[in-house]
Amino acid sequence: MHAITLAVADVERSAVFYRALLGIEGSGVIGTEYPRTESQAGGTTAMFTLDDGLIVSVYAREDMALDSGVDLPHGPTSTIGHFVGSQAEADAFLDRARAAGATVLAAPYTRPWGMYSGFFQDLDGHLWEVVANPGGGDPADAQPAAG
């Protein structure tokens, strides 16, 4: 996977949020010279390249619907996972999300299989999970504890 594009209500507002959340400069809002028409999606977007090369972009919900030909549901249909190395890093990321305007849904906690995580929603309701695996190793390799 090389890019994730999030449908948003306001590209400018979301660009400000993601710059604050991710702590990186993005491209800024680009493509404004390509406005939406009745039959064609506009080109306005903002893109952020993460350290691992993944591109996160925000694109107007109406443009994405017109571009794809699909009525987009409102509300989360999946989660965006952000993996960090420790509980302190997870807490700091959640604090940064809150400061940027996100809604932290509940205090993070340690799952029975050892992963520590918490959830927040961005300005458009996209659901994020911040995950730390304090036991070490890749959080994707965590296994439920034997019971």
Q: What is the DSSP letter of 24?
A: S
Residue-wise pLDDT tens digits, 114-124: 899 999 999 99
**Cβ atoms of 84 and 70 closer than 8 Å:** no
pLDDT of 112 reads 86
Is residue 90 a part of any domain in this protein? Answer: yes
Residue 39 to residue 2: CA distance in whole angstroms: 28
**25 and 60 inside one domain:** yes
Residues 86 and 59 grouped into a single domain: no
Selected residue with higher pLDDT from 20 and 74: 20
Tens-place pLDDT, residues 71-82? 888 877 788 999
Domain that holds residue 93: 79-141
Tokens 């809604």 found at: 103
Segment 77-90 shows an average pLDDT of 91
| Per-residue pLDDT at 147 | 38
